[in-house]
Amino acid sequence: MPAEGRIAARVAALRAEIAGHNHRYYVLDAPSVSDAEFDALMRELEALEREHPELVTPDSPTQRVGGAPASTFAEVRHLTPMLSLANAFDEAEFREFDRRARERLDVADIDYVAETKLDGLAISLSYVDGRLERAATRGDGTVGEDVTANVRTLRSVPLSLRLERPPALVEIRGEIYMSWRGFERLNAEQTARGEKTFVNPRNAAAGSLRQLDPKVTATRPLGIFCYAVGSVQGAELPATHYEMLGWLREAGLPVSGETRVAAGIESCLAYYRDIGARRPQLAYAIDGVVFKVNRLDWQRDLGQVARAPRWAIAFKFPPEEARTRVLAIDVQVGRTGQLTPVARLEPVFVGGATVTNATLHNADEIRRKDVRVGDTVIVRRAGDVIPEVVQVVTEQRPADSVPYEMPSEVPEQLLRQRVQALIHFASRRAMNIEGLGDRIVEQLVRAGLVETAADLYRLSLPQLLELERMGEKLGQNLLDSIDRSRATTLPRFLFALGIREVGEATAAQLAAHFGSLDALLQADRAALEAVPDVGPVCAASVQAYFEGAENLANVRALAEAGVHWPDLPRDSGAKPLAGMTTVITGTLRTLSRDEAKSRLQNLGVKVAGSVSKKTTFVVVGADPGSKAEAAQALGVPMLDDDALERLLADPAALPVILEATRS
């Protein structure tokens, strides 16, 4: 083969290989090469195309981001109009849709194709002889905007269909969306650049696609799912919608993995409930599910009314965002002392509940969003997450409104809440800061020396000496005991945070179960509920706590201040000490009795109230009661603090530890 031919063949091979890797990475979600290997292929192709510009074709992967910024988007007429969907807002409306369709078709049952309804924007892709020719927005359904240059930058959109014999022409319909993760990443970047953030993934996707410069779109994390075919020439379509989706998949287009055949209305309802339950865990925003009659001949028989087909319906979920008015802004204090502004709202039904309060996070957030009393705002409540004010509808702002200012003087009620939170934090069963009593906490807070728990660890002697009735000796003792409290245990730390529903025993269970704070932070609702004694309310509270940015900042600040603890082995669920019985008496040095109790229980030990011959061992702290005497009398082994700690760290060592008590 002459050199020219060899090069052309290599270019073609590289393109096919790169397209294959893109497909596996972006569509199948199963990459087969490393990023470095992929980059090497791209670089080789770029170099060959630079040397041989005559070989460049529009469907080369090097040509995804190209062309100069446009000044407008041209109009595009869809060959087949892009339909919209009729909505059902409750089960009765959905049953009515099904009943009518069955009646018109005169059949007893209909097989539907069920899929999620993405909250993005509709797009039509035209492939001519298998090559992506045009991408257009829905527009009014008949005429849309040409966004080809932007859509080409999506790596999940094949520039050529992966078909041996592609149709002469095919219009493919889908939804362009942004995942939650992409949306959050983009907003973080926007904030870092001092640019405005997007309210929701749909707006972010729409804003990203309507960029005049495709180079900007190329940086945006957009995805696409295809769900229908418009016009087609030069190919036979299969007989059912579901098979048609399979054909789209074979052609290399992304199709939602949540697509199912649902035989009859009860299966549809089960699908609706299942997706509804998993909605908070989905990677992208959806606002409902779509049901389509599976048989394409039945779709034709049913036809359409206005712009909506009679063979499909969107069964909506309750909206997670709604508009309402801010009646007042109050400031609250968390148990760790941080201030949280809260918007009092005109009651509004959102996310399946009536919402009257929404968090505004902190003073910076209020300033950034410029939320004012009297404003109309968009509030969001997703799953069990605390409702938040997302954005102000500035067009509806009253003329006389003024920017909100956080009270500069901390209100009395807040001071008292801070004091309470800190007293709890320092208490004996929490961080056990000796000498940090109610009176000193109150003095520290009122003097403005301490707001949050982490501030305690930054106190200096001169600062303490500012306080009334504080001398050098007392001050130094206090600093020493604050310093000692840095070395703590995970259960104490969790208890000290003051998370609602997390008492001492629950803190011990959480610590024993997850072993480390990191593991706890990663736990989802189900993982939390799997912990003994943790019910749905407690799990929700723990999750809400660690989703609060201020709370996380507080936890981080404490760690940075040097608060630390040994991680524990993660509870595997195994009960190495099942069948053993113990009794705990006296005061333990490092663990409270509740904590010792739940940790022993996690190992399978039964904790009883009185000593008998059946007691395996007795845990004896300082100033033990008559139970120690009973143990002595019955010859039951007694473990002190150290022995208990060794046992908790290594349950398999029990025989050795018991042996040691005899000597």
Contact 531, 602 (CB under 8 A): no
Using DSSP's 3-state secondary structure scheme, residue 518 falls into: helix
DSSP string, 217-232: HHTS-EEEEEEEEEEE
Min dist. Cβ of residue 177 to ligand JCF (A): 8
**Among candidates 119, 84, 102, which has minimal Cα distance to 382?**
119
Q: What is the C-alpha to C-alpha distance for residues 214 and 157, in angstroms, rounded to an integer?
A: 15
Residue 241, Cβ density class (10 Å: 0-12 exposed, 13-18 middle, ≥19 buried):
buried
Q: Which is nearer to ligand JCF, 312 or 538 (CB)?
A: 312
**Among candidates 65, 66, 67, 61, which has minimal Cα distance to 45?**
61
Among residues 117, 292, 316, 627, which one is catalytic?
117
117 catalytically annotated: yes
**Among candidates 452, 441, 454, 456, which has minimal Cα distance to 337?**
452
Query: 249 has which bridge partners?
Result: none
Query: 30 has which bridge partners?
Result: none
Contact 72, 65 (CB under 8 A): no
For the chain, the maximum distance between any two Cα atoms, rounded to a whole number of angstroms, is 101
Q: Which is nearer to ligand JCF, 284 or 495 (CB)?
A: 284
**Among candidates 447, 440, 434, 443, which has minimal Cα distance to 477?**
434
| Counts of helices then strands in the chain (DSSP H, E) | 26, 22
* 244 Cβ contact list (under 8 Å, min separation 6): 228, 229, 237, 238, 296
- Rounded to 10°, the helix 593-602/641-649 angle is 30
Contact 431, 496 (CB under 8 A): yes
Contact 147, 209 (CB under 8 A): yes
Token couple for 195: 């640019």
Q: Which is nearer to ligand JCF, 228 or 478 (CB)?
A: 228
Q: Which is nearer to ligand JCF, 314 or 657 (CB)?
A: 314
Q: Which is nearer to ligand JCF, 228 or 584 (CB)?
A: 228
Q: How far is CA 272 from CA 163, 243, 258, 286, 291, in A?
A: 34, 22, 11, 12, 10
Min dist. Cβ of residue 310 to ligand JCF (A): 11
Question: What is the distance, to the nearest Å, from the Cα of residue 504 to the centroid of all Cα atoms in its chain?
Answer: 28
Q: Which is nearer to ligand JCF, 118 or 392 (CB)?
A: 118
Q: What is the C-alpha to C-alpha distance for residues 52 and 63, in angstroms, rounded to an integer?
A: 15
Element (H, E) at 354: strand 353-359
**Among candidates 76, 16, 26, which has minimal Cα distance to 226?**
26
Residue 75 amino acid letter: E
Token couple for 393: 């509808």
Interface contacts to ligand JCF, rule CB under 6 A: 83, 85, 115, 117-118, 122, 175, 227-228, 290, 312
∠ CA 418-420-426, rounded to 5°: 100
Active site residues: 117
